[in-house]
Structure 1
């Protein structure tokens, strides 16, 4: 086996690195191979944001830039992309980029360790909004910085900087030149080599054939969880198959009765498609990890990974989503064809981190039904931090209520079992019943008894069961028009918004 060359566009020049192992992270390459130490190593798990960099690639003829965590991103996943780190923002004459200048003017740095990550998240915000003529609100800035943590300065001056950078003279990346050089770089990149240690197929057929040849290879689709296996468990992989470049799986397709989300669609874009159909999911989508994780991770990867505390599965279960699994089947005559099967998402899991995948099978699509007029859907995430935290309990409820009667009930739960689960007994307790407090109280008892969650560092078993029932009551109160106050919405008197 051989390690494929790694080529990245940086400061207008193509950088080529050889002999980069498949599990080597982008952060390691930056700090140890390229000696770019402005990008910091903090948590090593995509949580603190100190390692944030910005990657750019062509999408629909335009340059799209995204902030990502370099600590859990395989270096080869950035192959053929443009890269910016904090060192790359200073102008040729030595002047600071508006994001850096605003941070300095607003005294938004103290110890400075986290500052490069904040600057890069702001740079992505600047590229995607400020340079497009949009005014960035404080709320937008907070969302863009949701994956960055600061222990000493606090966030007010950093948010001040996000607003202040818009008032400074504009500094733009030469998009035409960058796209031109990315196109030339793409022509230099060779197709996937069958014996390579890091394979990035570009077509669905190539992906399935590669998977059939290498059923033991580690499949990644964003690597925001597998990255932790590398940095925390020190796993090494003989071969990685990366499906994020497969053209067919990068799309969100809209049909009259469902949308189909490809396994290579980022969490950012997947949630945007879900929110477009169901605006009430906006807050839930925002709370799904920090922005850099959502930019790098994929919905398909989250579902295939099957973590019992992954937030997307309870949501998709409640919405009645199906998954489409595909494989390449070789025939005796030497020819082959693509086979597929479809099933409800919850049927994918058989136990903790166990599933029904065949060795040569890949999760290709997630099909989510479109909403109907009678649908009432709410999603709840309970965690210690509002942003960038793992759920202690996740509950999503979707009811179809007609003339005051529950005709259909679909409930997904996370953090309460060995797998993401459907609350089938509670659904049965609601179905066909009048939508009133008596029905809700009976269903609360069923829901609390339906699962036997464990006690761990995030919550006790009793707490989780209690919260499950309380969330169902909250759902009922909200359905009756009660606007419930959340702690995060409270402001101290005279506090700066």
Structure 2
């Protein structure tokens, strides 16, 4: 296959790059090769937001999508065919953008180290709302800024600036040059890039991806790079061959059907969770607390599931919803329940050359009650001590089926089989919920680590089952129950 340079739009022109290792991060390229030092390096693992940039691409309908991502974890070849905007692209002395001017007016910067990252996130927010003709609430602004940390200015003046940037006359970015460049880049052949013995493949066709994966089962399959990027940044691992899924259109599709939801493995976390919460609104808070917007804009749900971390927040939700994982090797496809995909710690039922093609999530009907909870030390951008997504199917006050999925309680994300068995066929009353909570000791023997003790994890999990019962009661029933408890 023919190799070619990496091509993307940056600083008003199409850039061609060759001669850099494929694991060069976008941040390293900007600071060490492009001379764009406004983008800062803080944590180098996608937590602080100092390196935030905006990535642009055309969606399936040809519309320009601008999303803030972390430059520190993204590998340079993933920019191929896309646009890159940095703080150097915004405004100039004496002609600041509404975002920049609002930060000045509201004293939203002190040491200034984090400010470029805030500017890029706020610009992405500004562009999205200008395009939609909307204005965010202060709470929405805070959610959008969840991936950007500031440790000296404080967040009040930054949120004030987020409010004020919409008061100025509208000044959106000129999108025409970006769209024209992206349309031009769309005609390029799929990227096959080589630097010495290091190779990077970015197929654009599902069949070609399957062929490459089968031919190179030892290769690292790269999706959003939000985890694999840390293998390079923190662990200094060598990755001789990378196969990138982010250019395969079929893998990025999300199809809502009458009986469920098809989520391609390369659909971003943001898009996948948006679709999931439309079908199961009780997952909305878990979505908001799943990583940060820059991570969700780059990472994929398929990658989160393939990673198989016992503290991943995607698997508990999908297992509780009864999802299946669709696997592919060459021309062969295989389907199995997601709960059976995880065999042991970081061990999956995934054969050499096989990869996740999609996830199928059945649509829950109104007989299902679903409760989702993420327990962590920080509210935003933290790893779960316990993640629980609990679902019960109720008919005439009796439990027909139960799916209690927990992360952080074992070596894999798994269902609480003993607790489920206790409630199925029983009336859904407090005693049943208490019995399920008691049965959890037979399902899990959690570990003690830096995030939580074993006793804390077990107590939290038990309390969440009791909370599920409370959440399924209407106000009248709760009032009667409380009155009876008080009378007793």
TM range (shorter): over 0.9
Q: In structure 1, what is the equivalent of residue 86 of structure 2?
A: 85
User: How far, CA to CA, are the matches of 1:149 and 1:112 in structure 2?
Assistant: 12
Residue 56 of structure 2 is aligned to residue 63 of structure 1: no
Secondary structure at 2:186 match in 1:
helix
1 CA distance for matches of 2:2 and 2:75? Answer: 16
Give the match's secondary structure for 1:210. helix
User: Does the 8 A contact of 1:3 with 1:198 survive in 2?
Assistant: no
Q: SS of the counterpart of 2:15?
A: strand
What's the CA shift string for 1:81-103, capped at 9, x where partnerless? 11111111015x75111111111
Do the aligned partners of 1:449 and 1:465 also contact (CA within 8 Å) in 2? no
Whole-Å separation in 1 of the counterparts to 2:475 and 2:90? 48
> What do residues 286-306 of structure 1 show as CA deviations (whole Å, max 9, x unaligned)?
100000000000000000000
User: Contact conserved, 1:4 with 1:19, CA < 8 A, in 2?
Assistant: no
Pairwise CA distance, 1:355? 1.0
Q: Secondary structure at the match of 1:197?
A: strand
In structure 2, distance between residues paired with 1:300 and 1:190: 22
Equivalenced residues, count: 473
- TM-superposed CA distance for 1:452, in Å, is 1.0
Deviation at 1:422, TM superposition (A): 1.2
Are the equivalent residues in 2 in contact too, given 1:125–1:144 (CA < 8 A)? Answer: yes
Q: Work out whether 1:427 is the aligned partner of 2:420.
A: yes
Measure the CA separation in 2 of the matches of 1:140 and 1:286. Answer: 10
Give the direction of change, closer, same or farther, for the CA distance of 1:53–1:482 in structure 2 (3 Å limit). Answer: farther
The CA distance in 2 between the partners of 1:375 and 1:190, in whole Å, is 44
Residues 161 and 3 of structure 1: is their aligned pair in 2 closer, same or farther, counting only changes over 3 Å? farther
**Structure 2 residue aligned with 1:294:** 296
Whether 1:390 aligns to 2:383 is yes
| Matched ranges for 1:151-230 at <5 A | 151-192=151-192, 197-230=199-232
Contact 1:12/1:181, CA 8 A, preserved across alignment: no
Cα distance, 1:35 vs. partner?
1.4
Q: Kindly report structure 1 stretches of 4+ aligned residues shifted beyond 4 Å.
A: 1-4, 193-196
Pairs within 5 Å for 1:307-386: 307-328=309-330, 338-386=331-379
How far does the alpha carbon of each residue in 1:226-276 deviate from its partner, in whole angstroms, 9 at most, with x for none?
A: 111111111121011111111111111122211110001000000010011
Corresponding residue for 1:244?
A: 246
Structure 1 SS opposite 2:166: helix
Which residue matches 2:479?
A: none
Measure how far apart 1:76 and its partner are: 1.0
The answer on whether the counterparts of 1:26 and 1:70 sit within 8 Å (CA) in structure 2 is yes
Distance 1:193 1:165, change over 3 A: closer
Name the residue aligned to 1:105. Answer: 105
Across the aligned residues of Structure 1 and Structure 2, the Cα RMSD in angstroms comes to 1.7
Measure how far apart 1:426 and its partner are. Answer: 1.1
Deviation at 1:213, TM superposition (A): 1.3
Q: Is the 8 A contact 2:269 2:297 kept in 1?
A: yes
TM-score when scaled to structure 1? Answer: 0.92
Offset, 1:357: 0.9
Deviation at 1:190, TM superposition (A): 4.6
State the partner residue of 1:253: 255
CA drift of 1:173 comes to 2.0
Aligned to 1:495: none
* Offset, 1:77: 1.0
Query: How far did residue 184 of structure 1 move?
Result: 1.1
Shift of the alpha carbon at 1:448? 3.4
Cα distance, 1:191 vs structure 2: 4.7
The answer to whether structure 1 residue 450 and structure 2 residue 452 are counterparts is no
The Cα offsets for residues 444-488 of structure 1, whole Å up to 9 and x where unpaired, read as 0111331111111100111101111011111111212469xxxxx
Q: TM-score, normalised by structure 2?
A: 0.94
**1:418 equivalent in alignment to 2:411:** yes
Q: Secondary structure at the match of 1:95?
A: coil
Structure 1, unaligned stretches of length 5 or more?
A: 329-337, 484-497
